[in-house]
Amino acid sequence: MTTETFDVGILRAQFPILDRTLHGYPMAYLDSAATAQKPRRVIEATRAFYETSNANINRGAYKLCQEATEAYEGARATVAAHLNAAHPNEIVFVRGTTEAMNLLAHSLGQGLGPGDEILLTHMEHHANIVPWQLVAERIGVTIRVVPVTEDGRLNLEAYRNMLGPRTRIVSVTHVSNALGTVNPVCEIARDARSAGAIVVVDGAQAAPHLKVDVQALGADFYAFSGHKTYGPTGIGAFYGQRALLEELPPYQSGGDMIARVSFEKTTFKAAPQRFEAGTPNIAGAVGLGEALRFLAETGMDAISAHECELAELARKKLAVVPGVRFYGTAPERAGIVSFTVQGVHPHDLATILDRRGVAIRAGHHCCQPLWERFGIPATARASFGLYNTHQEVEALVEGVSYARELFT
């Protein structure tokens, strides 16, 4: 679909769960940043795999095994296309962004030594903080944090000043799950590379909502989660630029990732198999492939435009409610609206909205350092997916107005 032909009614009809009610109200699901709902074709693709092609991959001579392997490798090619990777072998299947970050921190960490520096930013999700911290503590590496401006942008001048010969890794989120800010990854990566650093991008909130091109971005590694991209839970993937991926030591070990095992010495397969020890989530990969085909057919540009329009509408209407304050007002934003309402705790707000059928998230959104920087413990967050509508924005705004009146 193009922006002109984008038809939310046609799209919604493909998501069975959107027909349900919450507390007797039509459900307005505004928490796609946490997890996206699944279109019927993803559910069907997963079911069809189990019904017709289930077997373990890479291990058998029989036809079923070949079919399962083809389905799994086909999904890898689809992920490569979604991210515009140069080759499917640059795609590693993992459980999700969290596992990708743990893998990268562990394996890249092996090339670091005391005095080296890892640059993170103040707007990272805990999944892009804690794995690096564990490595840093073990090795004696220093973590430095790029500050965030009042309107929720990265302070790029500070970033440039922090880059230096000790900077080995820069790990940054493409889109902030808490502020909605879209970071200038291309620029960040260019500067990091000229300082000789490896660039890791957390694409959990970008891959479902923006056209991602890892080659144009200049990312060395780029991770995302299947469940946020309208695919199943328990599957995700990361891109690794081929030469770097080939050098990267393994993370988990066991079956399927080895070339040869003896008690004296074990050698490993090439990437990506070197990083996929044991039986992977085969059906999950098949479902993810279907989800990404669905996104490609729907059109990433049209999806972005639709979600941004809804977020802007929500901001415009919420701004009229007394006491509403937004967090993340940078010009480059995705379909995420984080806000507080004076006198109403975000958790109370979420509960009141839930009673009216509106599902939003309240809390720290796994970004505690960010909220510490803004001096608050939590916000309410509405996040939009390709299936959301103007009516759902209305339901959100009416619910917030109602809550504000209740508490004042």
Footprint of ligand 7TS (CB under 6 A): 33-34, 96-98, 125, 127-128, 173, 177, 202, 204-205, 225, 361, 365-366
Catalytic residue from among 65, 186, 308, 366:
366
CB of 5 to ligand 7TS, least distance (A): 30
Q: How distant, in Å, are the alpha carbons of 63, 102, 243 from that of 127? A: 39, 8, 25
Q: What's the rounded Cα separation, in Å, for the pair 342 and 404?
A: 8
Pick between residue 96 and residue 287 the one whose CB is nearest to ligand 7TS.
Answer: 96
Handedness of CA 44, 46, 47, 53 (dihedral sign): positive
How many angstroms separate the CA atoms of 216 and 204, rounded?
Answer: 18
Looking at the Cβ atoms of 69 and 225, the one nearer to ligand 7TS is 225
Calculate the alpha carbon distances from 307 to 75, 239, 336, 372 in Å. 26, 25, 9, 28
Q: Look up residue 220 and give its two tokens.
A: 């060395």
CA dihedral of residues 163, 336, 381, 289 (deg, nearest 10): -90
What secondary structure letter does DSSP report for 299?
-
- Residue recorded with tokens 């562990």: 106
Query: Minimum CB separation from ligand 7TS for residue 234, in Å?
Result: 9
CB-CB contact of 386 with 307 (8 Å): yes
Cβ proximity to ligand 7TS: between 33 and 68 the closer is: 33
Q: How far apart are CA 202 and CA 169, in angstroms?
A: 13
Alpha-carbon span 36 to 29, nearest angstrom = 9
What does residue 382 show for φ and ψ, rounded to 5 degrees?
-105, 130
Phi-psi region of 115 (alpha: psi -120 to 50; beta: other; left: phi over 0): left
Strand partners, 257: none
Least distance from ligand 7TS to the Cβ atom of residue 228, Å: 6
- The identity of residue 298, as a single letter, is T
d(C-alpha 18, C-alpha 84), whole Å: 31
d(CA 255, CA 49): 23
How far apart are CB 33 and ligand 7TS at their closest, in Å?
Answer: 4
In the complex, the smallest distance separating the C-beta of residue 125 from ligand 7TS, rounded to whole angstroms, is 4
- Bridge-partner residues for 146, per DSSP? 121
**Residue 229 beta carbon to ligand 7TS: minimum distance, rounded to whole angstroms:** 10
Question: Is 65 annotated in the active site?
Answer: no
State the nearest-atom distance from the C-beta of 224 to ligand 7TS, in Å: 8
Q: Which residues pair with 202 in a beta bridge?
A: 173, 223
Judged by beta carbon, residue 32 or residue 78, the one nearer ligand 7TS is: 32
Positions marked active-site: 366
